[in-house]
Chains A and B, each alone.
Chain A
Amino acid sequence: MRIVLKGETMASQFDASATAFPSRRTILKTVGVGAVGLAGIPFLAACTGGSAPSGTGSDSSGLTFGSGSSDDVPKRAYQAVTDAFTAKTGKKVTTNVVPHNDFQNKINSYLQGSPDDAFTWFAGYRMQYYAGKGLLAPIDDVWQTIGGNYSDALKKASTGPDGKMYFVPNYNYPWGFFYRKSLWAEKGYQVPATFDALKALATKMQADGIIPIGFADKDGWPAMGTFDYINMRLNGYQFHVDLCAHKESWDQQKVTSVFDTWKALLPFQDPAALGQTWQDAAKALEAKKTGMYLLGSFVTQQFTDPAVLADIEFFPFPEIAMEGRDAVEAPIDGLLLSKKGGDNKAARDFMSFMGTPEAQDAYAKVDNSNIATAKGTDTSKFTPLNKTCADTIANAKHISQFFDRDALPAMANNVMIPALQSFIKDGSVDVKNLEAQAKNLYAAQ
């Protein structure tokens, strides 16, 4: 794993070429480890005063594209999109692929240094935050051409805090329970519609010697999916949004009851969760060691055997107390234009291209674990699973973006990850402490 330094901002000041950063990062990696925490900040401070000079700024014959989609399938899928764009317009796209954890972790310094013209990112708080800080270029002109391709919910998700458009959605993917049809048919399990039915089913599975619910939280974030769903099913979508934005406090009964409800589910979730990644848990589902697995539909990327993939089915999180199953967690991934990329005509063209069914079909042809967002994309190749996922999103009244995209990143990464991990360990959580931490972190922004 690579260690990314804030000091990179400094280096990028001297390094005008936006495309040269792999070597720069390698150098910094070696130089920097010792100087990490202490040395990093002031460099950043020294560098934020002026904006970075851009070497490739307004070159309209091509653009640079920063991609955090580093896994094999999405990487090839974006390659297909850029190839299609080049074939169509004759403009060259230089793609810089960065391992996705690194890409996310270094986004602050990336945006302040010399970012690529266009780059992959997410909708939600994480996009709005950087838009609000003026690090992104608004693309209202692009939306005038592609606006008709999107639903209102997607348009709303692409809007910045100032009412301007910033984001071009590519695909989204629903979170829900995935299971193997053959196993369920063999044992006679039924899809549960309510939380009580889910618990009854899980009890049955446990009696059959199966771990009912696959679970992995070594990386910390997957458990947020369970938290979000129980929260939305108990307290409604709006409460989720307000809690994430810290307009609602954490030390109230509503939050406590989320954890109390989850506690009833904990004995059914894989007890090895803290030591495994979601990929491990996906393998356990494939091996029929677990009965079902709550994750985003990207889980299907792990099922390389077509027979297994065809055997995977999806059902939305059962209803608990309110709003039935109206809300679905379906994070949207897409593209943003950096402030520097805003001057590049080719980059704007690329953004509009991404908002067309043509581009999204090119993407989906390679990576079909997600659902394209533009209207008029090709659904003829949808697998039954794709169709279930697409219907779930289409029928949802509210689409949430996942806790770490709807909330302040520091709240998600520094507070929720340790809190949820310790909750998984012993079923206890200190909501007063969560509130104290939230207060401090949101105040610092």
Chain B
Amino acid sequence: MSSTARELIPPEAREPAAPVRRAKGGRVRRLSRRDKVVLSLMVGIPTLIELAMVWLPMLMSVGLSFTRWNGLDLADIRPAGTANYQFIAQDYPPFWPAVQHNMLWLLFLALIATPLGLLLAVLLDQNIRGSRIYQSIFFAPVMLSLALIGIIWQLFYQRDNGLLNFLLGTAGTPQAVDWFGDSSVNIWAVMIAATWRHAGYVMLLYLAGLKGVDPSLKEAAAIDGASAVQTFFRVVFPAMRPINIVIVVITIIESLRAFDVVYVINRGTNGLEMLSALVIQNLVGEGQVIGVGSALAVVLLVISLVPIVFYLSRTFGKENQA
């Protein structure tokens, strides 16, 4: 009974509950002064850091998005109402392509890269020979930064000296495709490069997930006459629900923060517009327009809140119901 009751309590409230329950047994143990100091330091310092580094800047970004400011003197800040938002929605040509590209990136990762990672994980989970070697190979790109991946893939994609044009037999001819320079194809070329990394990441997570699935579930399914495909989709995959949620969130986050790879290629212009690159373009450097940049950052924040809220409500909402 008491363990069920404990389950009902949200996880963050459990620990303080413990002394109270012990109190019933007659042993009153309060937190000593030292405990209180240690606890408040351990809770307080991260909270302060979180406040100073995340919440405060975020709120100020939101505030600045309703102003015009040249970034130099505080006295120069002037209120602008929603002018910055109107500007990005109506007059700023790269904005809507950037939103589309972020969506496309999300769809591509969700429909191609993530399933590819899952497939790799399932294949490598079969105890085939050299499984470890394959795992290392597929995982290697994950250890590289996306910026580096942009540079590596440039070697494949170059118009005149690139491997891809060489294999296609078009290198040095006018038909050679400039995979990163041609705005009709470059977003796809970049997404393939990003997939190369993302699939390895997803593979690793699913490998861990697959190892964690109780083998008796599979046996039971087999005894019930389920085929391998049915076993996987009806039994194993649902059993990996916690991993699936993590992967969904990771995929969404990856697509929102897609930045470095397009930035090293051409600073996010010419067909590679991304919200994050636009934020940088408008906030950092000579082209600094703080109001517009902040408005873009807020748009990105609001979009990011969707998966965050989804994730949190899944995690804590479920525990509360259990």
Contact = CB atoms under 8 A, between A and B. Distances in A.
A444 B91 contact: no
B183 A274 contact: yes
B266 A104 contact: no
Interface stretch (A89-97, A186-194, A200-208, A405-413): A405-413
A5 B181 contact: no
Nearest to A31: B53
Nearest to A2: B147
Contact of A419 (B93, B264, B266): B93
A345 interface: no
**Interface residue SS majority, chain B:** helix
Given A104-B285, A412-B287, A37 B183 contact: no
B119 interface: no
A444 B283 CA distance: 13
A133 B73 CA distance: 9
Interface stretch (A233-241, A308-316, A380-388, A432-440): A432-440
B307 interface: no
Interface in A26-50: 33, 35-45, 48-49
B290 interface: yes
A414 interface: yes
Given A218-B266, A274-B181, A433-B93, A414 B287 contact: yes
Nearest to B61: A38
Nearest to A101: B285
A437 B88 CA distance: 9
A220 interface: yes
B269 A444 contact: no
B197 to A, nearest CB: 16
B309 interface: no
B289 A410 contact: yes
Nearest to B174: A271
A307 interface: no
Interface residues of B, number: 58
Interface string B57-91: 11011001000111111100000100100010011
A445 interface: yes
A1 interface: yes
Contacts of A444: 68-70, 80, 289-292
Given A41-B61, A48-B72, A425 B183 contact: yes
Interface in A93-108: 104-108
B294 A409 contact: no
B289 A418 contact: no
B192 to A, nearest CB: 17
Interface string B177-192: 0101111000000000
B289 A35 contact: no
Contacts of B53: 35, 39
A45 B178 contact: no
B286 A409 contact: yes
Residue among A35, A41, A441 having the largest count of chain B Cβ atoms under 10 Å: A41
A42 B60 contact: yes
Interface string A43-75: 111001100000000000000000000000000
A43 B283 CA distance: 12
B19 interface: no
A4 interface: yes
A48 B74 contact: yes
B280 interface: yes
Contact of B91 (A38, A126, A436, A445): A436
B264 A1 contact: yes
Contacts of A5: 284
Given A1-B263, A48-B72, A414 B282 contact: yes
A437 B91 contact: yes
Contacts of B283: 6, 36-37, 40-41
A42 B69 CA distance: 12
B316 interface: no
A272 interface: yes
Contacts, number: 157
A414 B301 contact: no
B286 A108 contact: yes
Contacts of B203: none
A38 B55 CA distance: 9
B57 to A, nearest CB: 4
B300 interface: yes
A42 B284 contact: no
A112 B74 contact: no
Contact of A37 (B69, B269, B300): B300
A3 interface: yes
Nearest to A7: B57
Nearest to B59: A42
A128 interface: no
A42 B91 contact: no
A443 interface: yes
A410 B287 contact: yes
A145 interface: no
B71 A44 contact: yes
B117 interface: no
A219 B268 CA distance: 10
Contacts of B266: 218-220
A433 B264 contact: no
B198 interface: no
Contacts of A126: 286
B54 interface: yes
A163 interface: no
A395 interface: no
B150 to A, nearest CB: 9
A252 interface: no
B92 interface: yes
B288 to A, nearest CB: 6
B289 A414 contact: yes
B184 to A, nearest CB: 9
Contact of B286 (A35, A43, A410): A410
A421 interface: yes
B280 A42 contact: no
22 contacts: A6-B284, A35-B54, A37-B280, A37-B300, A38-B54, A41-B64, A45-B64, A45-B74, A48-B72, A104-B286, A105-B285, A133-B70, A220-B269, A272-B178, A274-B182, A274-B270, A276-B181, A413-B281, A413-B285, A421-B270, A443-B68, A444-B69
Interface of B: 53-54, 56-58, 60-61, 64, 68-74, 80, 83, 87, 90-94, 147, 159, 178, 180-183, 260, 263-264, 266-267, 269-270, 276, 279-294, 296-297, 300-301
Enumerate the 4 nearest inter-chain pairs by beta-carbon distance, A residue then B residue, closest first: A275-B181, A413-B287, A105-B285, A275-B178
Given A5-B284, A414-B282, A437-B91, 14 more contacts: A3-B280, A36-B276, A36-B280, A37-B283, A45-B74, A106-B284, A108-B288, A409-B286, A413-B286, A418-B269, A418-B270, A436-B90, A440-B83, A444-B80
